[in-house]
Amino acid sequence: MSLPLEGLSAIVTGAGRGLGRAEALELARLGASVVVNDFGQPGRDGSGDASATPAESVAEEIRAAGGRAVAHQGDVADFDQARALVELAVAQFGKLDILVNNAGILRDRMVFSMSEEEWDTVVRVHLKGHFNTTHFASVHWRARSKEAGGPVYGRIVNTSSEAYLAGSAGQPNYAAAKGGIVGLTTSTALALAKYGVTANAICPRARTRMTEDVFAGYQEPSAPDQTDPLSPEHVAPLVGYLASPAAARANGQLLVVHGGMVAVMERPKVAAKFDTAKDVFSYEELDEALGGFFAGRPEGETFGAGEVLGLKKG
């Protein structure tokens, strides 16, 4: 019996540790050949090997289990290095079939305290990084589709966040970048559908090195046989599924995943609509229409969906 991703090749960015590592291992377990990307430095993988990088360590872990993998140390937020990443996948495995964009960083601060550098750095790594790899992967798939005279196989799994869905007061840069990724995902889904490519985004909740401060208040399981609800192990299977042929009908979707639960988010709906009685709204007319509408809304309610933070298994 063949594996779901057998014969397919994948890129996972930010895969040297945490969530990306779990995703790379899962794709390999399902049969994919994997390019493990991480902007790591030698000696930072915790193995004691001064020459090792996190990406190389994960690639070796995949090879030791019988899979195919190669490491890439480039910065996906750099346009040329993102190009080299996609080219490496094609050179090593003949083609690229799956792109999992996971790489990211945090620079948390309130909006009134945030520096320009803290804003630019987070938006660069998350949003530009997603665009860069998506751009070069889409060029590859479009060219293959034209050569084949029809659709080819392509899967993009992007990483958004509940910080975008619910709003996160101390993460304006992160929430904005993650919201931008959703926009990039839905646009990409429409643009690449005719080539056979799907693009979806996930909002994972996972305890990793990057989020250890964010989830510091979440209790870890006390029993040794219990899986941490915030373990990346809860997220990786969904990435594997979205990367598979079975998920062909899922396109342009946003899913929340953690702790044994997956939730498909509904698209925004129109809450109310007002028409002017004349040709153009006046201030007074808007005050009457919108003022009355917002007066009847719960205080503190925003476009953010704070209730998503209460989702859990069961």
- Residue pair 209/17 in contact (Cβ under 8 Å)? The answer is yes
Could you report the per-residue pLDDT of 253-269, keeping only the tens digit for each?
Answer: 999 999 999 999 999 99
pTM for this entry? 0.90
Query: Of 80, 68, 77, which Cα lies nearest the Cα of 29?
Result: 68
pLDDT of residue 225: 59
**Position 212 pLDDT exceeds 60:** no
pLDDT of residue 226: 62
H/E segment holding residue 57: helix 54-64
Is residue 153 part of the annotated active site? The answer reads no
pLDDT of residue 164: 97
pLDDT of residue 41: 63
| Catalytic, out of 33, 161, 168, 231 | 161
Give me 298's structure tokens.
């719960």
Average confidence score pLDDT of the chain: 92
**Position 43 pLDDT exceeds 70:** no
| Catalytic, out of 178, 195, 231, 244 | 178
Rounded to whole angstroms, the Cα distance separating 100 from 181 reads 13
Rounded to whole angstroms, the Cα distance separating 312 from 314 reads 6
Residue with tokens 């709003």: 167
H/E segment holding residue 280: none
pLDDT of residue 206: 82
- Residue pair 130/101 in contact (Cβ under 8 Å)? The answer is yes
Query: What 8-state DSSP symbol labels residue 297?
Result: S
Could you report the per-residue pLDDT of 82-132, keeping only the tens digit for each?
Answer: 999 999 999 999 999 999 999 999 999 999 999 999 999 999 999 999 999
Q: What are the φ and ψ backbone dihedral angles of 12, each rounded to 5 degrees?
A: -125, 120
pLDDT of residue 210: 53
| Catalytic, out of 128, 138, 164, 174 | 174
**Position 2 pLDDT exceeds 90:** yes
Query: Of 248, 114, 144, which Cα lies nearest the Cα of 189?
Result: 248
Query: Of 39, 29, 133, which Cα lies nearest the Cα of 87?
Result: 133
Percentage of the chain modeled with pLDDT above 90 = 86
- Residue pair 196/98 in contact (Cβ under 8 Å)? The answer is no
Rounded to whole angstroms, the Cα distance separating 159 from 181 reads 7
Is residue 145 part of the annotated active site? The answer reads no
Is residue 178 part of the annotated active site? The answer reads yes
Paired residues of 72 in beta bridges: 37
